[in-house]
Amino acid sequence: MRPVIQLLLTMTALLASSLVSPCAAQGADRMKSETGPTTVLGPSNPALHDGAQALLAGRAEDGVRLTLLGLEAAADSREEESALSNLCAGYILLKNYVEAKKFCDLLLVRNDQSWRGYNNRAVIHLKLKQYELADQDLKRGEQLRPGAHTLKVARALYMDAVHPVAPEVIIDDREVDDSNSTP
């Protein structure tokens, strides 16, 4: 596989795994309430849910648009943080790193324990060749969520950028001229 295609696939997988579903743990919070469990049919914030699905499907423009609507309709801080994280990832997909960083920074001001926020911001720093900042964010994310696959992928991208490895295998594809050989 060509390195450019492999990098694009890796970045897509990295961003997809850093998206936060707004419904991921809504049942867990309700199970702890004194009123007992509540049944929720469908997402509590359809625009936020649909935005996450669009981003996962690679439809970044739709995903960002829907997620912005979901942010406006957010019912609580958890939905707001999900929206901010997804907007950061969505703008990375759109290669709008200034907007992406703005949403990552907003998320991390609200919740400095968001390992996904640090992961996404590290990706932005990598894209902008700000390797020291990327390393700082990766270290913080790794402290918060040791062993997270998404952080491992981002760390590998960082290592490839900062400490590239020379290929050890050289393929000799020269053709041999057999016309001068004797039978």
| Domain assignments of the chain as residue spans, ordered by start | 3-18+46-162
Of 7-11, 137-141, 173-177, the poorest mean pLDDT is in 7-11
Structure pTM? 0.73
Residue 163 and residue 141 in contact, taking contact as beta carbons nearer than 8 Å:
no
Q: What is the mean pLDDT of the chain?
A: 84
- Region 81-94: what's the mean pLDDT? 97
Task: List, in sequence order, the alpha helices (H) in the chain.
Answer: 3-18, 26-31, 46-56, 60-72, 77-93, 97-110, 115-127, 131-144, 149-162
Distance of CA 100 to the CA centre of its chain: 11
**Residue 169 pLDDT > 50:** yes
**Residue 10 pLDDT > 70:** no
- Region 61-66: what's the mean pLDDT? 98
Could you tell me which of 157, 143, 145 has the C-alpha nearest to residue 15? 157
| Per-residue DSSP letter, 177 | -
Q: Any idea which residue has 């020269």 for tokens?
A: 174
pLDDT the model gives residue 159: 97
**Domain 3-18+46-162 part of CATH 1.20.1580.10:** no
- Region 141-149: what's the mean pLDDT? 98
